[in-house]
Structure 1
Amino acid sequence: MKIFAVDDDDVFSEILRQKLRLIGYGDVTCLQDPLAAQQVLAEAAEAFDCILLDIEMPGLNGVELCGRIRALPAYRHTPIIMITSLAGRQSIDMAFQNGATDYITKPIDTLELKARLHGVERLLDERKRLQMLEYQISLQTDVVPLDFAFDQPILVPEFDRGIEFHALQNYLLTLGLKGLYSVSAVAICIENAVLTYRIASRVAFRNMLADVGSVIEDCLKTESLLIAYAGSGNFVGIVTGTADWVPADLEFEMNAKMEEFSPIYVSERLPLPRIRVGPMVSNSLLSLARPSQVLDRAIVAAGSRSGLPRMGIA
């Protein structure tokens, strides 16, 4: 795995390089200048697999650099881990809102760093498998069709507002005990997703998710939330404070916009997605033991008829 690290502290950069080498990652490029780093990434003949960014840097801070990296087509979905001494809520929120996949505070624990990077490798392996299958399909070669489980939290194409489910889980883990009390979760469920999954190709199912994603983006463009596709036809979002919408009204608006796609679904003989918007769900003492449990509770509260994440179907 090719790793690109940016930190203006020469001493820390060397410590980081040594830690990475110790846990088996020797292909590491370290830069101290964030502006130079942006140029290197933009001009690299071969893209890096994972990026590590400090936040407090002169000229261009790591959060801004993260947003600029996300604007580069080659790094739209590359795992980006913030490694910083900043542990405040504002820094965490800004990092994930600008595209961070994970967040680690200094000083670095070697075992924690190893666990996070192993998670990145698993993410990259699954992504590469799906990309290869899609590429082969585009060439109309005789290969096994694109396949993924119904409960798999896949990347939704052209859903620019969304982040990866893995990143949303990392965000909740990063908030800490105090931060979890100030957020709520909401689920936006596709009630008939399981039917589409059973009768349509996987490409058609992903296209359906993209259509729903475009409706979500259109209806929530003024709202501040982190949202991801969690699998099983369920989008889940994290909101800080109170949301400026009524679930029933938002549900009506989304389904009305979904009607605009009706001719496409009629022509392809597929059911038009039916969207259900759940109520806001706050963290409980039970959720604090496993922060991401609030996402499951939001899906249950929405009355999802398409199933919960990670349960699968026959």
Structure 2
Amino acid sequence: MSAAGEEPTALHLYDCADVGATLVQYGRAMGRPWRFLPARDTSLDNASTMGSLGRTASIAKWTATRWLKSFDADLLHIHFGTRLDVLAKWPRRPFIVHYHGTDIRTFYYDPLQRGRIQWGADNAEVVLYSTPDLKVHAERARSDAIYLPNPVNLGELPAWDPNGAPVVVFSSRWDDSKGGQQQLELLSAIRRALGPEVRLEGLEWGNGAQEARRRGVELIPRMSKQHYLRWLSKAHCVVGQTSGILAMSELQSVAIGVPLVARLEPGFYPDPVPVISAPTTDGLAAEVASVMQDPVGTANVLQGRQWVNEHHSPDAVVNQLATIYGELA
């Protein structure tokens, strides 16, 4: 633990879109006393020949690691607003709650979950939220909630390589939280605008995935982050979600340099935003068709990587978070 007046030692617990891991990686590189513990990997529970004994050992190992890291921390930084059970366990520490999307946009309005989420907001030292659309929801739970932009780790992004057959990639899962029915309608409009010669690809993920397949998308199985980023880098155009925001996948696409077409809510992001937008479904489809005429020329005009580096640089986000921590010292 830190001495009086020093920057608090912070333990980031759990993760969403590698935000916690990126913050700690860049924070430690800058000399910040931050630590990180992701959720336990439950995919291994059934892999052990010892069955339940192996699962018990995995839980015990994670719990011991959490205990040791928490004991040495001044502050717990909890990623995702429903993951609060750990706060009741010893050693107890002051904490920050960091909202990432569905937790505060959806689960907060579920009567079965609202009480727990509100308890976290009421008792946290600080409440953070990661995308501008969450402001209205986060402030209902905590009026002084703070926007902390998602950090984009530019060092892990592959170079853009649009040299294969023309392909349009839908970067988000087919889910109501990502635009749902609007996304499917946009898919149909793009298919009509481009014709059958351009391949459309999307993730085999979400309750609308099979309908997307029926409408002409080639579904790609879920993959590791490294493979996902390489998949984005092969696209000639990426279609973002229609919910009005730039989530991590859209930010990564822009930073790689792929032209991104998405519906954005006016005023959410500092201009000039290097995203091609339109107010209607047919307008967005027409923009995709236009990009596919000259993807490289479009990317050269947009200069997306520069904008992401300016507004979502991990160094800048780490400094903002360090200031927040410092005010709690």
- Tell me if TM exceeds 0.5: no
TM-score by length of 2: 0.29
Larger Rg: 2
